[in-house]
Structure formats: C-alpha cells, structure tokens
Structure 1
Amino acid sequence: MKNILNKIKQIYPVSDEALQALQADMQVRYYPKNTYIVQSGVTDRLVYFIEEGIARSVFHHNGQDTTTWFSQEGDITFGMDSLYYKLPSVESIETLSDCKIYVIHIDKLNLLYETYIDIANWGRILHQNVNKELSHMFVERLQLSPKERYEQFNRRYPGLINRVKLKYVAAFLGISIYTLSRVRAKK
C-alpha cells in the first residue's frame, strides 16, 4: 500500500493508528485492463484506492464516451452519486491498465471519519482539492486554447500522456483527436 499511504500523507498527516484502522477495513482486488469497476446506471457503495495502475471516469451519452477524470497510483475513485446519494452512478470507471486496488465500503469509511479526526480531515481536504481541480478544468475548457489545455494536462498529469490512449486525452480536453495530434506535432 506504499503508493496509497504516500498519497494520503501528502494530503494530510494521518496518524499511524488511523492508517492501520483504515487498512484493516480494506480488501485488495485485482482488475484487468478494460474492466468497468463502476458502471453507469448501477449503485456502487465502494471507494477504490489505486495502488497500481490507471483508471478513467467516463460519461456515456448518445454513443459517445467522454473521459471526465483520470486516476492513477495513490488516487481514489468512486461513483459520486452512488457513494453519497445511494443513486445509480452517472459515470463509469474503467481500468486503463491492470490494476491493484484496495476497496472499502463507504459505511466503514464513514465510521472511520467519525472515529479519527485526522481521517476526516484528510477526506475533507481531498474533496476540497478535487473540487478545486474540477472548477479549474471547467474554466480551462471555456477559456484556454487546445494547446494551452494540453499543456495544463501535462502539468496536472505528468507522464500520463504516454500511458493512456490519445483519444481519451482528447475527449478529456474537449478537443478532437486530430486537434490533439496537431498540438502534439508542434511540440
């Protein structure tokens, strides 16, 4: 759990006791590449901590897939509507590589939030950071050129461009694969 624990500690100084309690409630799972670990239209009450591998959140609409988020080593991912509101997820989460993932049920995580203030603070700061990133990405899509969005992507996700299909990056950036190819060729 090295990647997960390092990422948690980067976000907030969680005590060893709290981390041990968190680990005790987790189960390790292995998912092959191209597996939907969360499916749109299905309620899933698990939180997924990625130890190894990459996943993407994807919105399916009218035969089109739009990548809305990437998660990699140390990150957590989940279907927001399922997790917080007990509703079917509007997005799917797909593994883009073979993944080693630790899972915990939201009810167990909520108990840990109530028991350990440092885990609660970690969760709060994590969500604040994600909300900030989502807000910035929304504004970037409205205001930045494709070249500038691509540059921001590389700053936000160093090295990820070499680990995922370019069509996912293009969809994430809100540009065509042809525009992405032109932007990359100019580099």
Structure 2
Amino acid sequence: MSAKLPLPAPVVHPRSSCSVSLCELTAKLFFSCPDTEAAFFSCESVKNFKQQLVTQQLPKGAIIVLDAEVSKKLFFLRSGIARVFYYNAEGKDVTSWFISENEFFLPAVKEARAADSLEYMEMLEKAEVVALCVHQLEALYQEHTELNLFGRLLKEKMLARCEERIRFLQIPKAQDRFRDFERRHTALSSRVPLKYIASFLSLTPSTLSRLRASPSL
C-alpha cells in the first residue's frame, strides 16, 4: 500500500470586501477600534483618513450652516441627535431629516434642495460631530484606492435614505405617515420635540398629538 500524501496546507484568503458592512468601516475610520477587522485598509490609509477629521463637541441648540457651495462636508454623529432644516418661501422652518448616533449626513447641492434656501443642522442634544471636507475625502480616494469601498457603501446608504424619504412623502394619509415613522424611527419619538416631528411629517403639532393619542395606533 502506498503511503498517503500529506494534505496541502489550507489557503487563507483575505476577507472579501463584499462581506464588509458600512458599520465595520465606520468603526475603523471614525473610532479608535484596533480590533475591528478591516485588513484591506492599510495602517497608512486609516492614519491619513483620521488626520483629516475635525471633531467638535457641540451643546444642545448649536447650529451648523450647511452650505455645500462654499465648503461641502460629510458629517458623522458619534453621539447625540440633530435635525436638518431649511426655511421655505414663506420663511417657515421646515425639518427635512433627523440624524442620530453613528449616522452620516451629506448636504445637498442647491439644485437638489427642497427650496432655494440653505440647510442647517441643529443639535437637539449635546453632540459630538465629526466633519470631513469632501474634496479631502476625494483626495484620499485617489491616494488610497482601498478607501473607495467606504465611499461606495456610504453612497449606497445615502441613496437608500433618499429613496426612503421620497417613498415616505408619497404616503397620502397622515395616519399612515405617522405609523410608518413610528415603525422605522421608534427611538426618535422620545428624544425629539413634537413640533419637529410634526414638521417632518408635514402635520400640525395638534394633529400629531391626536394621532399619538389614538388607540388605533
């Protein structure tokens, strides 16, 4: 009987980028998480990325002007909660989005805004905000091609949020809009003032109060 040949050593393949989530990449790039598995990011690319980040501790009520034409920035909330709003043609404050912990926001260019007005970000709680200039981010993509994976996943996330907002605005009944909001953003109800949720839902505060009190919901 011939001797058995030894089995070949197993081949260890690097982790496929297709199996990586935006949450994992965010932990690696925006937090100090050395144990996070993201082997396709070099130490140099992570270091250079973090050197471009500007972190601010902002009190409740602080407002950031989001002027994409002057300096377009990507924002990330490490902690706290904020709302994005603009002023419509009548000068009314309209809430267009909410941002909570571990979420990104990229201001829209003028052509994509809901009105010919600047957008603003208001802190509804004490917050830690991280900002990165988009032109610096694009330079990082050029210098470290592996960072393009983060950019692709981020764009997919932002596109999904835009699609969710469009679908949400197409819900005709106020009761159904409120039910959908409660289902998708349960935690916001206890942290965001009623008037801002009402504005986001295109409702009056009194109508929203009535809907919240309805036993059918």
Q: TM-score, normalised by structure 1?
A: 0.79
Residues 54 and 131 of structure 2 are in contact (CA less than 8 Å); yes or no, is this contact kept in structure 1?
Answer: yes
Return the alpha-carbon distance in structure 2 between the equivalents of residues 165 and 24 of structure 1: 36
Could you say if the C-alpha distance between residues 6 and 124 of structure 1 is closer, same or farther in structure 2, counting changes exceeding 3 Å?
closer
Q: Does residue 1:30 correspond to 2:57, yes or no? A: yes
> How big is the shift at 1:39?
4.8
Could you say which structure has the larger radius of gyration?
A: 2
- Alignment RMSD (CA, Å): 2.9
Residues 171 and 177 of structure 2 are in contact (CA less than 8 Å); yes or no, is this contact kept in structure 1?
Answer: no
Matching residue of 1:59:
86
Return the alpha-carbon distance in structure 1 between the equivalents of residues 67 and 196 of structure 2: 18
Q: Does residue 1:79 correspond to 2:97, yes or no? A: no
Residues 78 and 93 of structure 1 are in contact (CA less than 8 Å); yes or no, is this contact kept in structure 2?
Answer: no
**1:123 maps to amino acid:** G
Q: Which has the higher helix share?
A: 1
Could you say if the C-alpha distance between residues 104 and 140 of structure 1 is closer, same or farther in structure 2, counting changes exceeding 3 Å?
closer
Question: Structure 2 regions of 5+ residues with no counterpart?
Answer: 1-21, 28-37, 111-115
Q: Does residue 1:69 correspond to 2:87, yes or no? A: no
Return the alpha-carbon distance in structure 1 between the equivalents of residues 68 and 75 of structure 2: 18
Q: Does residue 1:134 correspond to 2:162, yes or no? A: yes
Q: TM-score, normalised by structure 2?
A: 0.69
Q: Does residue 1:167 correspond to 2:195, yes or no? A: yes
Question: Structure 1 regions of 5+ residues with no counterpart?
Answer: 83-87
**1:44 maps to amino acid:** S
Q: Among all aligned residue pairs of Structure 1 and Structure 2, give the percentage whose two residues are the same amino acid.
A: 25
1:50-103 CA deviation, whole Å, 9 max, x = no partner? 111111110112221111111111112243228xxxxx9731111111111122
Matching residue of 1:15:
41
1:13-37 CA deviation, whole Å, 9 max, x = no partner? 6736344432222122111111111
The answer to which of 68-77 and 42-51 deviates more is 42-51
Residues 59 and 92 of structure 1 are in contact (CA less than 8 Å); yes or no, is this contact kept in structure 2?
Answer: yes
Could you say if the C-alpha distance between residues 6 and 166 of structure 1 is closer, same or farther in structure 2, counting changes exceeding 3 Å?
farther
Residues 73 and 132 of structure 2 are in contact (CA less than 8 Å); yes or no, is this contact kept in structure 1?
Answer: yes
Matching residue of 2:3:
none
Count of residues paired in the alignment:
177
Q: Does residue 1:157 correspond to 2:185, yes or no? A: yes
Return the alpha-carbon distance in structure 2 between the equivalents of residues 7 and 97 of structure 1: 26
SS at match of 1:143: coil
SS at match of 2:125: coil
Return the alpha-carbon distance in structure 2 between the equivalents of residues 37 and 155 of structure 1: 29
